[in-house]
Amino acid sequence: MELNLLTICYLIASVTFILGLKMLSNPVSARRGNLVAAFGMTVAIFATIFLYEDNGEKLHNYVWIFAGLIIGTIAGTLAAKKVKMTAMPEMVSLFNGMGGACAALISAAEFYHIYELHKDSPATAFAELATVGHYITIVAGAIIGTISYTGSIIAWGKLNGRIKDYSFNGQHIVNMFVLVLVIVAAVWAYQSTLGNILIPFMLIGFFALIYGVLFVMPIGGADMPVVISLLNSFTGVAAACGGFLYDNKAMLTGGILVGAAGTLLTILMCKAMNRSLTNVLIGSFGGGNKTTAVEGAAGPQGNYKEISLADAAMVMAYANRVMIVPGYGLAVAQAQHTCHELEKILEEKGVEVQYAIHPVAGRMPGHMNVLLAEADVSYDKLLEMETANDVFKTTDVVLILGANDVVNPAAKNDAQSPIYGMPILEVEQAKTVIVNKRSMKPGYAGIENDLFFQPKTSMLFGDAKKVLQDLCTEIKAV
């Protein structure tokens, strides 16, 4: 009866995972979907603790189990409550890395469990104790989980500025060589006797750690959303391997869902950037030449012009349609609520206000959607890139808040640019473009933006939150 009840609990958990993922596809139901999936995970955890049996023996080390649950719950809750919206991509990457580490440890524990059961017969080869499929699952979980862990940690460091892009000639050859060493160590471990097996297995983990670092280090800033999504899919696959090892349906289902969703999202991100995944991983996008215009002087493209707050307010107040393009600068300034206030003030004056969202704006997939949802911006006002590009032609004013690379015309006009071919928000089609930035420094990809020097573009320098507050005051007075 208990076994059947455990199976039912796992089935409930699996269904809630699927429903939760489906609900995450819509911002209106996303919060509820997250809670539904969390409920399913809670059911799976407590069902495993109290109902799981192995040869008639239940779990007994409750002190360690609940100590880990309590510590993890407290740490996760505090971290989630204190994290700023600008640091959300780092937290996602860090949590994903922890998931990869857990999956790798599960594989290591299963490997060591087999070793402990038969260590009294050191002359026995591991191949005699485990089928090829079982061993491949163990090693795949260990390798993929370890790569996801170290890769996510490096991504976390790059997102918060602690780690810089690094590459060298022949790095991709070195990466492939390290990957070959991982495979060689895995074959060696499978063929080794128990007395000699721990060294090759530790080498698997060691080389996988190195590969995870080398894998992410050369990838440039603008590709980080794609990398985070790809690493997320790695963690899902590693977790699914753990589900196979323990015949745990909930873990298997959750891992497959995360792996599949992460893979599909990675493909969509690459499509949004008009680049292949191979190009992302090998191209080191954003790590190339970086040019910076000198403030107040003629840059490589010419002179830029500034606009005063009063003039910007006047132009926006008398416009028929205003399109707001949010970027990372808006998140840094934590100005999403002020932006929503500006939207309401403009609408009171009869101005139609919408938001143009680029798929890779910010530092992670959906970053801008999450940012604006936090400020209760109506989802109906968020236009996807293709729709927004059609609307720009009839837009009076475009207000760009901290976005840079996703509005750079070089993606269409400069075949030598690293972002050439990437679909962008074609804001230059609007009658007037106002760009809010702190300075004329290039964006995250380190590429100068031709848009800033076009005749219809005006620069409005300053912190996004302060500028938006002042705009609200000025527009009210118009």
Q: Do residues 263 and 329 share a domain? A: no
Q: How many CB atoms lie within 10 A of CB 361?
A: 30
Q: Do residues 23 and 72 share a domain? A: yes
* Residue 296 within a domain: no
Q: Do residues 32 and 120 share a domain? A: yes
Q: Do residues 244 and 325 share a domain? A: no
Q: Do residues 215 and 356 share a domain? A: no
Which of the listed residues 252, 282, 312 is the one where a domain comes to its end?
282
Question: What backbone phi and psi angles, to 5 degrees, belong to 53?
Answer: -135, 145
For the chain, what is the HEC assignment? CHHHHHHHHHHHHHHHHHHHHHHCCCHHHHHHHHHHHHHHHHHHHHHHHHHCEECCEECCCHHHHHHHHHHHHHHHHHHHHHCCHHHHHHHHHHHHHHHHHHHHHHHHHHHHHHHHHHCCCCCCEHHHCCCHHHHHHHHHHHHHHHHHHHHHHHHHHHHCCCCCCCCCCCHHHHHHHHHHHHHHHHHHHHHCEHHHCHHHHHHHHHHHHHHHHHHHCCCCHHHHHHHHHHHHHHHHHHHHHHHHHHCCHHHHHHHHHHHHHHHHHHHHHHHHCCCCHHHHHHHCCCCCCCCCCCCCCCECCECCCECCHHHHHHHHHCCCEEEEEECHHHHHCCCHHHHHHHHHHHHHCCCEEEEEECCCCCCCCCHHHHHHHHCCCCHHHEEEHHHHHHHHHHCCEEEEECCCHHHCCHHHHCCCCCCCCCCCCCHHHCCEEEEEECCCCCCCCCCCCHHHHCCCEEEEECCHHHHHHHHHHHHHHC
Q: Do residues 276 and 352 share a domain? A: no
Catalytic residue set? 405
Q: Is the separation of the CB atoms in 183 and 143 below 8 Å? A: no
* Residue 67 within a domain: yes
Q: Do residues 273 and 328 share a domain? A: no
Q: Do residues 258 and 385 share a domain? A: no
* Residue 323 within a domain: yes
Q: Is the separation of the CB atoms in 245 and 255 below 8 Å? A: no
Return per-residue pLDDT of the chain as tens, 478 residues: 445 888 899 999 999 999 999 998 777 788 899 999 999 999 999 999 998 887 777 888 899 999 999 999 999 999 888 887 677 788 888 999 999 999 999 999 999 999 988 888 888 888 888 889 999 999 999 999 999 999 999 999 988 878 887 888 888 889 899 999 999 999 999 999 988 899 999 999 999 999 999 989 887 666 777 888 889 999 999 999 999 998 888 999 999 999 999 888 888 878 776 667 776 666 444 444 444 443 433 345 568 899 999 999 999 999 999 999 998 888 888 899 999 999 999 999 999 999 999 887 877 777 788 888 888 898 889 998 999 999 999 999 999 998 888 898 988 888 777 777 788 899 999 999 999 988 777 665 567 788 899 999 999 999 999 999 999 999 998 8
Domain that holds residue 208: 2-282
What's the number of domains the chain is made of?
2
Q: Do residues 375 and 267 share a domain? A: no
CATH number at residue 376: 3.40.50.1220
